[in-house]
Amino acid sequence: MVGLLHQTLSGLATGGVYASLALALVMVHRSTHHLNFAQGEMATFSTYIALMLIQAGLPYWVAFALTVVIAFALGVAVERLLMQRMARASPLAVVGVVIGLLLLFNGLSGWLFGFTIKQFPSPFEGNGGGGAFGGMVSDHEVGMTAVTIAVLIAMSLFFRMTKLGLAMRAAALNPESSRLLGIRVGATLAAGWGVAAGLGAIAGMMVAPIVFLDPNMMAGVLLYAFAGALLGGIDNPAGAVAGGFAVGVIENLGGAYLVGTELKLTLALVIIATVLVVRPAGLFGHVTVRRV
Amino acid sequence: MSALLEVRGLRAGYGAGEVLHGIDFTVAPGGVTALLGANGAGKTTTLRAVCGLLRRAGEIRFDGARIEAAATEDIARRGVAHVPEGRGTFLELSVAENLRLGAYMRRDRGVAADIARVLDHFPQLAPRLRQQAGTLSGGEQQMLAIARALLARPRLLLLDEPSFGLAPLVVQQIFAILRAIRAESGIGILLVEQDASLALALADQACILDAGRIALAGPAATVGRDEQVRRVYLGY
């Protein structure tokens, strides 16, 4: 019983990371109808930048904030320099380009920072906290859950309360109407890529102390996040967040009691396949009916 | 008095097909120009061309400045509000969010007061502010679209068939509101409308479009008296 609770809490903690990355995937998909398979590798690259800044002597949270800003700029640059030119390309060509981006960032990470596995510091460890729930979850798990929940709440407020957030939602829903209202749709798309990359960077920095940093760190995380996004509905931000947390719990419980840790990643594929077959729109997604 | 909108030799179309073969018309400051014509004559195309939503050639002047090469969002920023066919409502967003988007370009502090004023014109919308716009009736959606356009504080309003698909009573209500807006705000209106008698009652200038060319243009009263117009478009 204690084991079950432990696995569930630990699943919620990693689920928060999947939720952040799932939200990043959904943000790009809603506005461009493309899946950014490079989202995970961009996050890994940003995490390396964070490590570099920390090793250069910056305090953790300064490095954290700086990394989010750099990741935002990186996302904007990728959209402006590359994806913008793909706006009218066929879906298959876009898939080719994002896979190219995946390889590019994966290679860059290894080339610039090395292929060996590195430790990444946690700002929550070593404070003598001893975790929560009688030591069932570590200090880092508590801290990263707090950070991801805070980020998700901030994102929700941003999209509901701010002018830019509202304009980004409008541009994703109906670009032509948005332009008629004076919204610069191209700029909101770039900002969307930037925010998604920032979310990915936070997810990377939070998960790195657990899984250790190497160029392929986010490959598995991206699969879980993708499963979470599909489970919740690929066009529904709140659904994707819920899906991310759910996948975290399913992964941990399934790994502990069902298939063993070696086969955990297959659970993500099982979820993806099941959702696509049974309910392609996801649990909370809209089914769009198109007249032909 | 120079025109608010002046269009000269406008050509536009979709892909390789040209729909407008060089048309001329103007909208006076605070005036209403009606574009009439059969389905497929090019009325909607004209509005979309003015807003830069499709490829166009010719001369379009708004308030004296050439806008035929400008981007849609820049034309909107100059003060042209377009209520498109199908109303362009953000169906998934709430009514209040749709209204806030209307005021997206504004930096002043009067938006909340303007939303209240617009809701005076459209009292049906007030209790529905938190509802998803997609749950509104057709008439309410048309009202929302006009309200949203007005919140941009435009100087020119382009309306694409505001009566389309609505019950006669609702149509009357919407045109009464348009008359009131015209009287109090001095906004120029370019009106595309199937219902010619309604349009001619509101407009001071009218153009009949036929297969992408202006077949007849002049003061609304004169156009309304034209024998052929009466027979073809007014049915009496």
Say if residue A288's pLDDT is above 60: no
How do B17-27 and B205-210 pair as beta strands? Answer: unpaired
pLDDT digits (tens, 9 = 90+) for B192-234: 988 888 899 899 999 999 888 988 888 988 888 887 777 777 6
A21 is a domain residue: yes
For chain A, give the mean pLDDT. Answer: 89
Nearest CA in chain A to B89: A177
Tell me the average pLDDT across A181-209. Answer: 94
Of the two residues A208 and A287, the one the predictor is more confident about is A208
d(CA B114, CA B181): 13
Partner B, chain A 271-290, Cβ-Cβ below 8 Å: 286
Nearest-CB residue to A179 (from B72, B92, B148): B72
> Which chain B residues are closer than 8 Å to A286 by Cβ?
92
Nearest CA in chain B to A163: B104
CB count in 10 Å sphere of residue B59: 13
For chain B, what percent of residues have pLDDT higher than 70? 98
Classify residue B12 by its DSSP letter: E
Tell me the average pLDDT across A104-127. Answer: 90
With 0.95 as the threshold, say if the pTM is over it: no
A270 is a domain residue: no
- Indicate the number of domains in chain A: 1
B82, β-bridge pairs: B158
| Contact across the interface for B73 and A177, Cβ inside 8 Å | no
pLDDT interval class at A291 (50, 70, 90): very low
Nearest-CB residue to A169 (from B84, B93, B105): B93
Domain encompassing residue A180? 2-116+134-221
| Structure ipTM | 0.91
A39-55 helix and A217-232 helix, angle to the nearest 10 degrees: 130
Query: CA of A170: how far to CAs of A30, A178, A192, B16, B54, in Å?
Result: 11, 6, 12, 31, 21
| Contact across the interface for A182 and B104, Cβ inside 8 Å | yes
A129 is a domain residue: no
Q: Specify the amino acid at residue B85.
A: E
Say if residue A128's pLDDT is above 70: no
Nearest-CB residue to B76 (from A173, A179, A286): A179
A125 is a domain residue: no
pLDDT interval class at B236 (50, 70, 90): low
Nearest-CB residue to A166 (from B81, B97, B152): B97
Nearest CA in chain B to A171: B90
> Which chain B residues are closer than 8 Å to A183 by Cβ?
73, 101, 104
A148 is a domain residue: yes
Residue among B21, B93, B80, B90 nearest B53 (CA): B80
